[in-house]
Amino acid sequence: MRNVNIWKRIDKPVVLVYLLMVIMGWFNIYAAVFNEEHREIFDFSQRYGKQFIWIIAALVLAVLVMVTDTRFYFFFYWVIYGIMILMLILLFFFGKEINGSRSWFEFGFVSLQPSEFAKFATALALAGYLNYHRQELTRFRIILPALGIIILPALLTAAQPDMGSTIVFFALILVLFREGMSPYVFVSGLLMIFLFFLALLMDNYMLELILTGLAFFLTWLVTRKLKVALAGAGIIVLIAAPLFIVNHYLNEPASYNVIIVITLLVAGLFFAYYIYQKKALGVLVIYAFLIGSVLYVNTVDFVFDNFLKPHQKERVEIMLGFKSDPHGTGYNLNQSLISIGSGGFSGKGFLRGTQTKFKFVPAQSTDFIFCTVGEEWGFLGSVLIVGLYLFLMLRLIWLAERQRSVFSRTYGYGVVSILFIHFFVNLGMTIGLVPVIGIPLPFFSYGGSSLWGFTILLFVFLRLDASRSEHLI
């Protein structure tokens, strides 16, 4: 083991970007909640004054993280993870309910949100687990516990309920693909999201016909035999035709969806014979994709109607253009778009934003803090902020790739995954690309728990990077 000066080896560009974001966030919080009766930025009765205290505390936490030996994070990651899981469970008994979510512990004037700290703990536990199972993520028995590490805090957070943090935990699945899990799983996940929204936008039977046509096109691409694809299509037609005719004359005809599902299942017997005879694994995968997609599409409406809460359904419907409710559920998004658009190219100037100054934008210092940037600093300021986040994430990826241990590398990718999903969802919901779910902008939004959680998350990795040559863990 070699002793090194961690302060000389700490990655200075990342620290600089961190400090810039924290300071810029503080000034934007000041602008977002500016009060003529409380003009002093160090007024601790106001959010910007409190944020200054959180910033000082965050810097202290950063120093404490950096002076802690890296082996502490390696040897005690299960303990840290277990404590955070316990804290999430205790919320159901001792947590304070705010805006319908039991996600906070209250200690006097300070409220702590354990899910913000559970993010770094989960990334740490996942890194520790993968360190012992390197190059084994092609095995299901290895993948399953890794998914369990991610899903457990996600489920506990979803039950609070806090859907924003729940989504963040699932972002850690991206780490598994870097470490060798099949990309087909990732593609399948993206496909499920895509089909979910398509199923809401289209009639199911039309979508199923499109999927069937796509399956036969893929069959042709895989086999390069047009006759095989046409023969498969012919079998589908021969089975479907009599079913549709009989169904037409029934007193209570079944839906087209039912006929299509039955057709595909019956056709599967013929396809199975062909696959068995020709050892056509590619055709088997395509058929499994088709059946799985069709069955999944038929569950979307049920999930949408029975598992999403009314306000969540309304937000999705507004995003998809099904309804317009600028004074109700769509108010947040509508005011957000007005605020960002009104900034123009160069913005209105610091403390001159009317949408934020007169509090038209809800949660303008937390989830919608980016509106203040767009209104007061315009397109130029928005591009600067986006550029800082992109630089930070790309820099962290570069740092992760230069690590000499699996533990440090996978934790680094965990940091990037968490920051990316926060950045993408927060900006996406302010401009209408994703539903409004409530998620802070890292290092920018008001809040002690989020700032401290992100600080610990980032500086643990900087500590690992600074001592990457000290010992291999």
Q: Which pLDDT tens digit goes with each residue over 442-452? A: 999 888 889 99
328 in a structural domain: no
Write down the pLDDT at residue 459: 95
Q: Are residues 96 and 244 in the same domain?
A: no
* C-alpha distance from residue 463 to each of 390, 403, 411, 419, 421 (Å): 21, 12, 11, 18, 23
Judged on CB neighbours under 10 Å (0-12, 13-18, 19+), 296 is middle
Q: Are residues 158 and 227 in the same domain?
A: no
Bridge partner list, 104? 96
Write down the pLDDT at residue 1: 45
Residues present in the chain in total? 473
Write down the pLDDT at residue 93: 86
Q: Are residues 16 and 132 in the same domain?
A: yes
What does the pLDDT look like over 101-145, one tens digit per residue? 778 788 777 778 888 999 999 999 999 988 887 666 667 777 888
Give the domain-ending residue among 308, 340, 356: 308
pLDDT at residue 2 is higher than 60: no
Q: Are residues 207 and 303 in the same domain?
A: yes
Q: Are residues 34 and 175 in the same domain?
A: yes
Show the domain range for 244. 202-308
Q: Which residues contact 218 (CB under 8 A, 6 or more apart)?
A: 286, 289
What does the pLDDT look like over 50-99, one tens digit per residue? 889 999 999 999 999 999 988 898 889 999 999 999 999 998 888 787 76
Q: Are residues 427 and 291 in the same domain?
A: no
Residues 325 and 404: their CA atoms lie apart, in Å, by 53
Write down the pLDDT at residue 280: 65
What does the pLDDT look like over 288-327, one tens digit per residue? 777 888 788 778 777 777 766 676 666 676 666 666 555 5
Measured in degrees and rounded to the nearest 5, phi and psi for residue 347 equal 85, 170
Write down the pLDDT at residue 472: 52
Q: Are residues 173 and 46 in the same domain?
A: yes
Give the domain-ending residue among 281, 308, 335: 308
Count CA atoms within 13 Å of residue 431 on its CB side: 14
| Domains of the chain: total | 2
Measured in degrees and rounded to the nearest 5, phi and psi for residue 38 equal -135, 75
Say if residues 156 and 95 touch (Cβ distance below 8 Å): no
pTM of the model: 0.79
Give the domain-ending residue among 248, 276, 308: 308
Q: Are residues 210 and 294 in the same domain?
A: yes
Q: Is 181 helix (H, G, I), strand (E, B) or coil?
A: coil
> Which value, to the nearest 10 degrees, does the dihedral of the CA atoms of residues 371, 375, 381, 382 take?
40
